[in-house]
């Protein structure tokens, strides 16, 4: 292939339009002839550069200008523009209005700076907020003087009674936190248990006394052997001591005291007297 033939086929080669045979001859010539090789490279690079280059970006206002010329009825006025500025910044503007608003911002000379100014003004407000003025010296003292009548609050101590009332108020306040509700329920149940709901004679001790008395009576009636009643008696005695001690320190009731004394009196006596003690216990109930 001659050099002028090479040049003549260059465009066809780059377009991929050559026959296989022609294509092979063209490529062989490009490898053999340095001048034609350079030419091919230059043309390739030029084509590449042409495809990469684009027109400079259109001015942001171009689209707006075209729309203004073609659809002038969609333009908004400056006062409409201002009216919707906060909605625009808040992101509340509906799409059709949003675009018209932005077009106005791009075109109107007197409005185009406004959104930026407003954003900067809001920013200035936030900055201003951060730089708080120091409260004037003596203001706190004046406030304290005018409220509690004393500039040395440590001297104003709450009277014990007021503090107690306030503490009780806090304690009796309905439970605020839901997490504490279950605790409150448990407390309530234990109050019921500790008062009168469970025990018939008004005390926790009563349950044990009653069941002990029943057991003793049953044992006394059923068995002639003294070993079991004696064991029972010891147990009853120790329970009495325990419950008696508790109830003396707490708020025991008369019925329990009677019950305790009657039991303690009956304890040294023989098993025969037990039913009688049990009888008096039943009366108390």
For other proteins, the binding residues (CB under 8 A) are 82-87, 113-114, 116-118, 120-122, 124-136, 139-140, 142-144, 146-148, 150, 152-159, 162-163, 165-167, 169-170, 176
- Secondary structure of residue 18 in the 3-state scheme: coil
Q: How far is the CB of 91 from other proteins (least distance, A)?
A: 13
Q: In Å, what is the CA distance from 248 to each residue of 236, 238, 242, 256?
A: 18, 15, 10, 10
**What is the nearest approach in angstroms of other proteins to the Cβ of residue 107?**
17
CB 203 within 8 A of CB 258: no
154: which 2 tokens? 């440590």
Nearer to other proteins, 156 or 187 (CB): 156
- Nearer to other proteins by Cβ, of 140 and 241: the residue is 140
Dihedral pair phi/psi, residue 108, rounded to 5°: -75, 120
CB of 193 to other proteins, least distance (A): 30
Comparing CB distances to other proteins, the nearer of 88 and 208 is: 88
Query: Smallest distance from the beta carbon of 61 to other proteins, in angstroms?
Result: 17
CB-nearer residue toward other proteins: 54 or 117: 117
Q: In this structure, is the dihedral angle defined by the CA atoms of residues 5, 10, 11 and 16, taken in order, positive or negative?
A: positive
Residue 107 CA to residue 189 CA, distance in Å, equals: 76
Q: Closer CB to other proteins, residue 176 or residue 222?
A: 176
The nearest distance, CB 90 to other proteins, in angstroms, is 9
Distance, in Å, from the CA atom of 263 to the CA atom of 268, rounded to the nearest integer, reads 9
């Amino acid at each position: 292939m001659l050099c002028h033939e090479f040049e003549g086929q260059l465009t066809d080669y780059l377009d991929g339009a050559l026959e296989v045979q022609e294509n092979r001859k063209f490529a062989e010539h490009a490898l053999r002839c340095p001048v034609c090789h350079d030419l091919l490279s230059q043309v390739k690079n030029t084509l590449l550069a042409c495809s990469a280059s684009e027109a400079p970006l259109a001015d942001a206002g171009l689209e707006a200008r075209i729309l203004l010329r073609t659809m002038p009825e969609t333009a908004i006025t400056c006062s409409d523009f201002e009216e919707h500025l906060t909605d625009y910044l808040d992101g509340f503007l509906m799409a059709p209005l949003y675009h018209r608003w932005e077009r106005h911002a791009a075109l109107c000379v007197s409005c185009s700076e406004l959104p930026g100014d407003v954003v900067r003004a809001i920013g200035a407000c936030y900055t201003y907020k951060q730089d708080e003025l120091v409260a004037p010296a003596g203001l706190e003292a004046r406030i304290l003087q005018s409220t509690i009548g004393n500039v040395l609050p440590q001297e104003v101590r709450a009277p014990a009674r007021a503090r107690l009332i306030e503490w009780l108020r806090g304690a009796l306040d309905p439970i605020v936190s839901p997490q504490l509700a279950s605790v409150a329920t448990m407390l309530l149940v234990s109050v019921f248990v500790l008062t009168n709901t469970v025990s018939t004679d008004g005390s926790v001790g009563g349950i044990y006394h009653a069941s002990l008395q029943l057991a003793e009576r049953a044992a006394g009636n059923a068995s002639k052997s003294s070993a079991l009643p004696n064991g029972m008696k010891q147990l009853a005695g120790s329970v009495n001591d325990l419950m008696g001690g508790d109830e003396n320190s707490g708020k025991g009731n008369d019925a329990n005291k009677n019950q305790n004394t009657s039991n303690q009196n009956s304890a040294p006596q023989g098993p025969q007297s037990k039913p009688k003690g049990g009888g008096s216990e039943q009366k108390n109930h």
